[in-house]
Structures are given as C-alpha cells and as structure tokens.
Amino acid sequence: MSRDFTSRRAMGAIGSPVALITASHDGRNGIMTANMIAGLSFSPPLVGISLSHHSLTRTLIDSSGEFAVNVISPDQLNLAKNIGSTTGRRIDKFKEFSIGTFQGRSVSCPLVKEAHAVLECKVDRSIELDKHSLYVGLVVAYHDIKEASPLYLYHGNYYSIGDRLGSFWGIK
C-alpha cells in the first residue's frame, strides 16, 4: 500500500502516556515499556495495549491472561528507556534495573513500586494486528499510589504534561 504520509508521523501526532507493562507466568516475570496504550471504556473499565509479537512480556500475557499497567512519571524517564530497549529474553530487567515490586490484589504479576498508579487487568479479548496484538484488559483492581503527572510521548519526544486548562467533568 502506498501512502502520502509516514506512519511514524501520523502515530506520533496522537501523543500518548508511557507506562510499564508487567506480566508473569510459571515463575517468569516480564516488564516492558509501552506507549500504544489507551483507556477504552468506563463501564466496564477497559484499557487497550498494543504489543509487538517479539516481546517476551506479550507471550507471558498470552499464557497467563493477565497484566498490569504501571503508570510512571517524568522522574522514571531513564527507567522507561532502559526497560524499553532491552528484552527479558536476555536479562532479568527487575534485577538489572533494581525495580522494586509489590503484590497485586487480583493478578499474580509484579506491580512496580515507583509507579504513581497501577491498573491490574485481566485480558477480556485480544485482536491480531499483523505485527502487534491489541489486548483489551478489564481493570479488576486499581492502586492510586501518589499524585504525579504522567510521562508523555509526542512525535518521538518525551514530555511532562503542562498547565491545567479546565475540567472535562464540566461538559453538559
């Protein structure tokens, strides 16, 4: 298919939060950085994450049917870069990057202590997208750890979010 745009440019225009996705199966833990991530529905609470077929973490989600979205702040930029540029197939990222974890309420994968919010999810359904799989996760538990702004990715650059402009809940 020929296009009059680059997909990198088009995807970059949307902008998205950066989070750490964790999963585990059979005693093996996985952690990866992801920005192809979005809230999809309030009721039921559904989130979507799109993961490459190459990722170890994705195979652990396939086997266990669960994952966690660990929302991070600009303070964790280097951690996000390190986790997103290495694979758990070669190193134990939890040890290598000294990642502190705690236990979930409803999922068995490790949750990241440094995150400011964590969503525990059970896979509701998945959709094959050629080189990625889109997982729709039902949020089964939520941890509000501390007040912080999310780390953001826009056109390939990292940002913290800027000024508060108003409230969504004011819409009538």
Contacting positions for ligand FMN (CB under 6 A):
18, 30, 32-36, 50-52, 55-57, 80-81, 84, 86-89, 153
Do the Cβ atoms of 31 and 99 come closer than 8 Å?
Answer: yes
Q: Which amino acid is at 5?
A: F
Q: How far is residue 8 from each of residues 11, 40, 57, 112, 156, measured CA to CA in Å?
A: 5, 22, 23, 29, 9
Q: How far is the CB of 88 from ligand FMN (least distance, A)?
A: 3
Do the Cβ atoms of 156 and 133 come closer than 8 Å?
Answer: no
Residue position matching structure tokens 């930029």: 77
Q: Which is nearer to ligand FMN, 18 or 109 (CB)?
A: 18
The pair phi, psi for residue 14, each rounded to 5°, is -70, -40
Q: How far is the CB of 169 from ligand FMN (least distance, A)?
A: 28
Q: Which is nearer to ligand FMN, 52 or 149 (CB)?
A: 52
Q: How far is the CB of 146 from ligand FMN (least distance, A)?
A: 21
Residue number with the shortest CB distance to ligand FMN?
A: 84
Of 61, 60, 76, whose CA–CA distance to 18 is shortest?
76
Q: Which is nearer to ligand FMN, 18 or 119 (CB)?
A: 18
Q: How far is the CB of 45 from ligand FMN (least distance, A)?
A: 20
Q: Which is nearer to ligand FMN, 50 or 108 (CB)?
A: 50
